[in-house]
Amino acid sequence: LYAADAALAVADEASALPEATGDARSFRDLILAKLTYAVGKDPIVARDHDWLRALSLALRDRIVDRWMATTRGVYRMGGKRVYYFSLEFLIGRLLKDGLNNMGLLGTAREALASVGVDLDVIAELEADAALGNGGLGRLAACFMESMATVGVPAYGYGIRYENGLFRQNIIDGWQTESPENWLAYGNPWEFPRREVAYEIGFGGAVEASEGWDGSAVHAWKPAETVLAVAHDTPVVGWRGLRVNTLRLWSARSPDPISLDAFNAGDHIGALTARTKAESISRVLYPADSTPAGQELRLRQEYFFTSASLQDLVRRHLKQHREIRTLAQKAAVQLNDTHPAIAVAELMRILIDIHAMSWADAFALTRDTISYTNHTLLPEALESWPVPLLERLLPRHMQIIYAINARVLTEARAAGATDAMIAAVSIIDEGHGRRVRMGNLAFVGSHKVNGVSALHSELMKETVFRDLNTVFPGRITNKTNGITPRRWLMTANPGLAGLLRETIGEGFLDDAEKLVALEPFARDPGFQERFAAVKHANKARLAKTIQQTLGLRVDPAALFDVQVKRMHEYKRQLLNILETIALYNAIRTHPEKDWVPRVKVFAGKAAASYTSAKYIIKLINDVAKMVNTDPAVRNLLKVAFLPNYNVSLAEVIIPAADLSEQISTAGMEASGTGNMKFALNGALTIGTLDGANVEMRDHVGADNIFIFGLTAAEVEARRAKGLNPRANIEADPALAEVLDAVGSGVFSPADPQRHRGTVDNLTNSDWFLVTDDFTSYSAMQRRIDALWGTPAAWREKAILNVARMGWFSSDRTIRDYSDEIWGLPTVKVG
């Protein structure tokens, strides 16, 4: 008998556990073998973490079989591959999603039950891989899953940060940050590839000499070298049909220790070079929409971009022998400007290493690369000081100058004025000479896309107005999407199950088949079942709120939710100010028939973003007062859940009745949380911003609550000069709220605490909170009225689910494939 079998025989005798049958039996045996031989634990003494590891390794075996088959198949076909370059992959937990995609969720549950282990309990122990900040990073994760699903052979390229996004602790209502440690228990999903390592240079000088034909030849002699070591994680698509690779780079020093220094007694100094090299992949920059601006950040960007390009060029040459066919076999997608240095790095590889002519190299670069823009916020448009780039990447700086000279010549030929030339130039001469990474990415790409229809149009009018004139047709739109596997099937099994019983399995393979639900929207029997699923999800969230905050909330109340990064343009402030107005109104008119509401907030603020941190504190100050005020009689509760991440989102989103998408119009590029909520049957209150606009088109204007200024109106008001004082005077409820906040009603121990927030609103209000307050507030009362008619509410909620299929990231990926990458996709199922 093998040890695993013997252990099981003992376990079987010891208890009366349910017997596993068929597939579950063989999967149980695989789990036991992993537990015994890979984890090294006797099942009798195994702890939950051991079972989690054993299960993950068992699942991984099954995934690896498909992985190799996919990789071999792709190689044999000799077709094009997509390379998704992203500094962030916010993948979250992988176990349940992997089981679901492999069709093993039920099997694993049964297998574990037969050895007395609860799948849901151990799944909660998995670390949440937070290698990203917010929407941009989560989009990359959804895209990876969808590319595997629709059959796009793809590699995701990024950094294997040792510490992902910081943990947010709320201490006395304030955010504090502590390091995140997702690798503490090891990572069962990854395969380290010590043999796949590339040298990444920094600094040094460029030597020019004369080539055989008299042309100049450049050789970059870096002063420092760091090794990039690959770690591969398989990414399995729906039904396990195809498995792609997420390849993350870890930084290693070529010299682990300076022995001379060590032997001379300098034990710390002997490790300095190593520490410096390895700091590159140490931590994810906790900046969302604001560039970190540190040299280390630029090093990270170049590090992963160079490693990835070296890797894909090597793969291409090995298979196709000929560098000139690169663009036919490789599509490089730049996720924001973080990898924009790829334009110069690929040029360097083609010219300096493969001896291509400038013109050929530039054409090949452009045909290979495309770029996605994710924000119009000026502070988020990356630029690097010329002296820094010159010092760190001298050869790249030369290449950037040369690209720029040609672009400017092209622009002049196209009739550009001096002002246009200044705008299209890669070098910003206005702010102490900086390299504009957006312009570099733009000129080095064949397509540049925005992430919603509105955002892509605004790109043409704002950041890239002049580049769009010089290169017409290059800007295109690819509206974001979300993967329904994670955001419906695994996050909301209750709803997914109800949908299967009601409309069959078709929607699992094609989310647009959710329209089959439309005829059930008014069906009272279906409405009841739909509401029961929502109620169960709310009860689960209520339990989480009770456990984390010690706050009791009633699952029958309207759950009104805003979860996302904390940012002034996202206007959590508008939400909390309106919450205070509601609180005041309940106290003034206790006799009215108020709708019980639970206001749920969650989100991290960048560590250095002081005003966002004050908004967190204000929310918590308000919560403290409202939640304990007997006068509100449980009609209003406020909950700020700490440490928002993918796993928490999976609990919160399926439990929401109302989704807050209330950014200042024109500022949210797309949003993707908005899509997740609607797909899970929440109604949206939102501005005409980002993808909200297209959501309205799909779900119908009657089924979404749109309020506030449009992007054009916002622009007009800003141009004319904002007048928050007039707005405040015109709305007594708002004036009362601001008085209360500013005078310390919610912060009696420190009455001045929120003075700055109020002064800022009164004197400048760049995000137009006071302009939109009145219409927002009125819309909330209309929502209360609708809540009073459950049948009408449920009908709208069901129609949202039925009509959100278009926002599947499968559709987005098909669009990229057709219009940017030039790749075929397959139907699933």
Q: Does 693 engage in binding with ligand C3B (CB under 6 A)?
A: no
Q: Which of 149, 300, 375, 562 binds ligand C3B (CB under 6 A)?
A: 375
Cα distances (angstroms) measured from residue 716 to each of 453, 690, 713: 20, 18, 5
Among 460, 564, 571, 811, the active-site one is 564
Choices 129-137, 182-190, 589-597, 800-808 (CB under 6 A): range interacting with ligand C3B: 129-137
Q: Does 142 engage in binding with ligand C3B (CB under 6 A)?
A: no
The tokens describing 767, both together, are 């995000």
Residue 592 catalytic?
no
Nearer residue to ligand C3B within complex by CB, 133 or 365: 133
Choices 38-46, 151-159, 665-673, 746-754 (CB under 6 A): range interacting with ligand C3B: 665-673
Q: Sign of torsion, CA 417 419 420 426?
A: positive
Query: To which H or E segment does residue 560 belong?
Result: strand 558-563
Choices 194-202, 483-491, 670-678, 722-730 (CB under 6 A): range interacting with ligand C3B: 670-678
Nearer residue to ligand C3B within complex by CB, 336 or 560: 336
Among 53, 93, 374, 395, the active-site one is 374
What dihedral do alpha carbons 471, 818, 88, 607 form, nearest 10°?
Answer: 60
Q: Which of 455, 409, 425, 448 is nearest to 670 (CA)?
A: 455
Pairing of strands 427-428, 434-436: antiparallel
* Geometric angle at alpha carbon 755, from 753 and 759, rounded to 5°: 155
Q: Which residue is nearest to ligand C3B (CB)?
A: 135
Give the DSSP letter string of 580-649: HHHHHHHHH-TTS-PPPEEEEEE----TT-HHHHHHHHHHHHHHHHHHT-GGGTTSEEEEEESS--HHHH
Please give the Cα distance from 684 to 706 (Å, whole number).
Answer: 8
Rounded to a whole number of angstroms, the minimum distance from the CB of residue 498 to ligand C3B is: 28
* 3-state DSSP assignment of residue 375: coil
Q: Does 134 engage in binding with ligand C3B (CB under 6 A)?
A: yes
Q: Which of 333, 479, 562, 670 binds ligand C3B (CB under 6 A)?
A: 670
Give, as ranges, the residues between 266 and 325 that touch ligand C3B (CB under 6 A): 288-289
Please give the Cα distance from 690 to 544 (Å, whole number).
Answer: 31
Q: Which of 382, 668, 694, 771 binds ligand C3B (CB under 6 A)?
A: 668
CB 329 within 8 A of CB 368: no
Residues 6+ apart with CB under 8 A from 781: none
CB 154 within 8 A of CB 83: yes
Rounded to a whole number of angstroms, the minimum distance from the CB of residue 546 to ligand C3B is: 31
Please give the Cα distance from 252 to 800 (Å, whole number).
Answer: 49
Q: Does 669 engage in binding with ligand C3B (CB under 6 A)?
A: yes
Choices 134-142, 245-253, 750-758, 811-819 (CB under 6 A): range interacting with ligand C3B: 134-142
* 3-state DSSP assignment of residue 228: strand
Give the DSSP letter string of 277-311: HHGGGTB----SSS----HHHHHHHHHHHHHHHHH
Rounded to a whole number of angstroms, the minimum distance from the CB of residue 138 to ligand C3B is: 8
Q: Does 235 engage in binding with ligand C3B (CB under 6 A)?
A: no
Total residues at the site for ligand C3B (CB under 6 A)?
19
Residues in the chain, total: 829
Rounded to a whole number of angstroms, the minimum distance from the CB of residue 137 to ligand C3B is: 7
Residue 462 catalytic?
no
Q: Does 687 engage in binding with ligand C3B (CB under 6 A)?
A: no
CB 711 within 8 A of CB 687: no
Rounded to a whole number of angstroms, the minimum distance from the CB of residue 667 to ligand C3B is: 8
Residue 570 catalytic?
yes
Give, as ranges, the residues between 440 and 499 that touch ligand C3B (CB under 6 A): 451, 480
Rounded to a whole number of angstroms, the minimum distance from the CB of residue 767 to ligand C3B is: 14
Rounded to a whole number of angstroms, the minimum distance from the CB of residue 5 to ligand C3B is: 50
User: Hey, how many other C-beta atoms are within 10 angstroms of the C-beta on 255?
Assistant: 12
CB 757 within 8 A of CB 714: no
Q: Which of 575, 569, 540, 567 is nearest to 555 (CA)?
A: 540
Choices 5-13, 53-61, 668-676, 735-743 (CB under 6 A): range interacting with ligand C3B: 668-676
CB 153 within 8 A of CB 244: yes
CB 723 within 8 A of CB 731: no
Q: Does 654 engage in binding with ligand C3B (CB under 6 A)?
A: no
Q: Which of 139, 226, 704, 798 binds ligand C3B (CB under 6 A)?
A: 139
Question: CB-based burial of residue 628 (10 Å sphere; 0-12 exposed, 13-18 middle, 19+ buried)?
Answer: exposed
Among 252, 538, 570, 604, the active-site one is 570
Residue 396 catalytic?
no
Choices 341-349, 358-366, 618-626, 662-670 (CB under 6 A): range interacting with ligand C3B: 662-670
Rounded to a whole number of angstroms, the minimum distance from the CB of residue 460 to ligand C3B is: 17
Cα distances (angstroms) measured from residue 134 to each of 147, 465, 671: 20, 27, 10
Q: Does 136 engage in binding with ligand C3B (CB under 6 A)?
A: yes
* 3-state DSSP assignment of residue 757: helix
Residue 49 catalytic?
no
Residue 565 catalytic?
yes
Give, as ranges, the residues between 378 and 397 that touch ligand C3B (CB under 6 A): 380
Choices 150-158, 351-359, 429-437, 667-675 (CB under 6 A): range interacting with ligand C3B: 667-675
- Contacts with ligand C3B by CB under 6 A lie at 133-136, 139, 288-289, 336, 374-375, 380, 451, 480, 668-672, 690
**Residue positions annotated with a catalytic role:** 374, 564-565, 570, 672, 676
